[in-house]
Amino acid sequence: MSVQPDEPLQHRLDLQRRQRLGMVEAIWGEHKSAEQIAAICITLLAADELVLATRVDSAKADAVLGLLHCDGGSGPVRYHQAARCLVSAAMPPLRPSAGSVAVLAGGTSDLAVASEAALALACHGIGAELVLDVGVAGLHRLLNQLEQLGGASVLIACAGMEGALPTVLAGLLPQPVIAVPVSVGYGVSQGGVAALHGMLASCAPGLCVVNIDNGYGAAMAALRILGIRDAGDPGRR
């Protein structure tokens, strides 16, 4: 496709994803301009679809909200700084009957990825509890949470460094565990590559692994495990 400098881009959004997969379409925000994100948001809102834009820094988010006239905390779109996401102000109600997810993070440095996963689940009516600072450097912190974690339908474990948290968790609890390597750590951590390799090489049977920093992908994997078929009715299976 040849695009002239002043020619507006045509966004072919997947507006049938909700009906086909039970998932709203997400906007990858990191490599899009504020103008591009705002245009996509307008299209989604006009189609009565939920907005979820991931990997948006605060400066770009302010620009998008300004373009949408949502600055000042009002309007149809809001920014969640912890998750680095723009999302519709009107979220679907939570449906406890659909199941719940616990999102664990080894440390506060993993919070952005863990928050992205929790927010993406909330966009589909799935309750997600954040359980922070349960990394293996202080294993007792995780052990103290096991009884509480036993009530969750699915577990998402986010960890950087050597990425050991999901392996330990999958060896202790029977629920599906989704591992998310995080790009946190010194030197040989290589931006999350060491954690990714460690999780892929885990000896814990049945551990599932998504890509580095992919909190959104982990949330969608959890949604599939829960068997949600219709994002408009999060309790339907």
Residue 233 has pLDDT above 60, yes or no: no
**Distance, CA of 91 to CA of 108 (rounded, Å):** 26
What pTM, to 2 d.p., does this model score? 0.86
- Residues ≥6 apart with Cβ < 8 Å to 148: 102, 131
**Domain 96-226: top CATH class:** alpha beta
pLDDT in tens, 23-75: 888 889 999 999 999 999 998 888 888 999 999 999 999 999 999 888 666 78
Q: Which ranges in the chain are annotated with CATH 3.40.50.1970?
A: 96-226
Closest listed residue to residue 145, CA positions, set 133, 137, 153: 133
